[in-house]
Amino acid sequence: MKSPLLRRTAGVLACAVPALAAAQQDPAAAAVPQLDTVTVTASRVPTEARDQPVQVSVLTAEQIRTSSAVTVQELLSGQAGIHVINSTGAAEQASVDIRGFGLTGPSNTLVLIDGVPQNNNDLSAPSLGTVPLERIERIEIVRGSGSVQYGGGATGGVINIITKRGNASGKPVSASVTGTVGSYGLHQLDAAIGLQNQHVTVDVYGQTLRTDNYRDNNRESRDSGGVGIGLHHDSGSVRLYARTTRQKLGLPGPRRVDPATGLDEYEDDPRGTSTPDDFIRTQTDAFGVQVEQRLGAGTLYADLGQRDKSLTGFSGSAFGDTTRTQDLDETTGSLRYHLPVAQRHALVVGVDMRDSDLDATNQYSFSPVGDRWKARQRQHGVFAEAQIQATDSTRVTLGGRRQYARDQLETLSGFSGNSDETRHLGAWQLALRQEVGGGFSAYGKVGRSFRLANSDELLYVATPLKPQTSTDKELGILWQSDASSARLAWFRYDLSNEIQYNPVTFSNTNLEPTRRQGVELEGRHALTRSLTLDANVTWLQAEFRAGTYGGVDLAGKTVPLVPKWMANLGATWRPDDRLFVSVAAQYVGKARMDNDQANEFDTRLDDYVLVNGKIGYAFTEHVSGTLAVNNLFDREYATYGIRSGSTGPTGAYNLYPAPGRNVQAALTIRY
């Protein structure tokens, strides 16, 4: 797509959203749920959305069901400020990046399932396929730092996936089975059973998936399941849960392009593989308990969880083979107390902990001596947040966190050194939200956030890595009516000691100062009772503020893998309760390739437009079906690419092709 078309696309969306917001309301228009009635958990306790310092986006179960997306990542990529990068070929393994962190997006975006962190103490992105879409009650998206509430790794934002408990119909017994078939040999089966009465709820689900995916050596098999038991009494509840996921995935590697020799595997053989034997196999088991108990004038919330993840991976190359095994044991816990004050104010105080132990080994075919290391990370924090209703229309939020962290790295064999670092870190935020009448409100927020290096980043460093810190600012305007809503936000993060991999030194390093800033504009409008439109546009600027790279001054250079422009436009038509049709178009702008920090490489990741669609129909009260088409116009594109050299405007590079047009059909039987 040429830049004039980009400007037209952005211009149309930028004009369309305010126009939707200002449009005269159709008396027959379906009501958009009021924010005042939505309860979210952004402050780690249930709170009305209107009391949050910034806008919290909520994707409901109905929006998820009628969306054209077929994975959580696709759902998220349709939201303002969110970019998805995929280098594995498996949709549920794609990394989610909020507000322009590029390759380190997963380390700056915190992903939760029912409030429990899913991010690993390594560089891998959390798998979002462990919970089927059918089992998701809602997804909460908090853009901007969540460090006060959650600690490190939440500078970009927080995504909380809330799963279903019991069933909305209120029936004592419910069950569903969904079978899905699709392109690339996809076969998937999902089943769920729910039992409930006044005091007990039981939820059981299972999923099995087999697919060849788009490329050679990209076959994927995944089996997952879970059970939740809820016990409810007059003053609270207790919930026990357990989940397990087992996956094996072939890794096809990149497609190489070398203009000097005329080699172009990306165009000539995009579905081929350069690594026919590479794979990764993982098993993740998680279990825990969550408690809610009214205590005195407030409510106590507590949770304790355990997560174990084992990994085996194989990588072959011309230099030899590498086999990696890894075991991660992680314990998380939290205690929070929510105290309403004078019916207008609230205080939240809490303590939390996260202890992880990683044991990893790399064995090499070309060396009798492998690498083995153990990493231990201990994080304990205390936080408090006060929500003050200063006037009938003004709400002030003030919060702070103090965190203790200890990182230990013990090298049992290999060339990496040992380290033992103890840190005391702080985060804070001050926010104001002002209702201005006519459905409008404005907000402002300033704060400080941080991120600690994970176990992978601690390896092969000349000196211990410093914590990444950021000064965060955001301003926004919100508007809402019975049938419409809109949001306009500006943000800026000024980061120090950002942690990234340096391919020149083959080690992780603290960067010179960097900056993320951008503008997000989004809107939703119910044109009629049956037709709803959504639109958003994002402008992102991720740049270095100082430093050098390969002798090149980095000041003002763009951070790789961050598109400057993103836009989405979607429509959902529901003429009756039995039928829905949804269509979504997504634009992602050009981006610098990985390893092009100096911004010298002439070739960039191309911009692209994707069009996806989905139709659903309820044949009877108990039987329904859907048909989804992704990448309708068979667009050739890649979300990840890396240049081979580190200097100069030309040279070879590698691309990871994304799937072409693909179709999925599903049939669901419910009881």
Span 250-273, pLDDT tens digits: 999 999 999 999 999 999 999 999
pLDDT on residue 601: 95
Task: Look at 653 and 507; give whichever has higher pLDDT.
Answer: 653
Question: Please, which pLDDT band fits residue 168 given cuts at 50, 70 and 90?
Answer: low
pLDDT of residue 670: 94
**DSSP string of 470-497?**
EEEEEEEEEEE-SSEEEEEEEEEEEEES
Q: What would the 3-class secondary structure string for 406-423 be?
A: EEEEEEEECCCCCEEEEE
What is the predicted pLDDT for the residue at 262?
97
Nearest CA-CA partner of 200 in 236, 233, 170, 227: 233
3-state secondary structure 149-187: HHCCCCCCEEEEEEECCCCCCCCCEEEEEEEEEECCCEE
What is the average per-residue pLDDT within 69-95?
A: 92
- How long, in residues, is the chain? 671
Domains of the chain: 35-670 (2.40.170.20)
pTM above 0.85, yes or no: yes
pLDDT value at residue 130: 76
What are the residues whose beta carbons fall under 8 Å from the beta carbon of 429, sequence distance 6 or more?
Answer: 53, 145, 147, 148, 397, 398, 399, 400, 445, 446, 447, 448, 472
Give start and end residues of each alpha helix (H) in 236-286: 265-268
| Least confident interval from 182-191, 396-405, 540-549 | 540-549
Residue 172 scores a pLDDT above 50: yes
Considering only residues 170 and 410, tell me which one the structure prediction assigns the higher pLDDT: 410
Question: Range with the lowest mean pLDDT among 63-77, 498-512, 554-568, 594-608?
Answer: 498-512
Measured between alpha carbons, how far is 70 from 75 in angstroms, rounded to an integer? 8
DSSP strands (E only) in 342-467: 345-364, 367-391, 394-413, 419-437, 440-451
Query: Out of 114-123, 231-240, 259-268, 321-330, which region has the weakest mean confidence (pLDDT)?
Result: 114-123
- Alpha carbons 249 and 257: distance in angstroms, whole number: 25
pLDDT of residue 505: 67
Tell me if 117 sits within 8 A of 102, measured CB to CB.
no
Of the pLDDT bands very low, low, confident and very high (cuts 50, 70, 90), residue 415 is confident
Paired with 665 in beta bridges are: 181, 627
State the pLDDT at residue 611: 98
Question: What pLDDT is recorded for position 646?
Answer: 67
pLDDT score of 455 more than 50? yes
CA-based nearest residue to 121, from 308, 275, 293: 308
For residue 478, is pLDDT > 60? yes
What confidence score (pLDDT) does residue 30 get?
39
pLDDT above 90 coverage of the chain, percent:
75
Inform me whether the pLDDT recorded for 177 exceeds 70. Answer: yes
Mean pLDDT across 298-316: 95
Instruction: Please report the pLDDT score of residue 91 as a whole number.
Output: 84
What value does the mean pLDDT take over residues 475-494?
Answer: 96
Task: Tell me the pLDDT tens digit for each residue of 190-233.
Answer: 999 999 998 999 999 999 999 999 999 999 999 999 999 999 99
pLDDT at residue 518 greater than cutoff 80: yes
Query: Which pLDDT score is estimated for 31?
Result: 39
pLDDT, position 354: 94
Q: What is the pLDDT of residues 4-62, one digit of tens each?
A: 433 433 443 344 333 333 333 443 333 343 444 566 676 688 877 777 777 889 999 99
Please report which confidence band the pLDDT of residue 525 belongs to, taking 50, 70 and 90 as the band edges: very high
pLDDT at 658 over 90: yes
d(CA 527, CA 24): 10
Tokens coding 194: 């729910």
The confidence score (pLDDT) of residue 544 equals 92
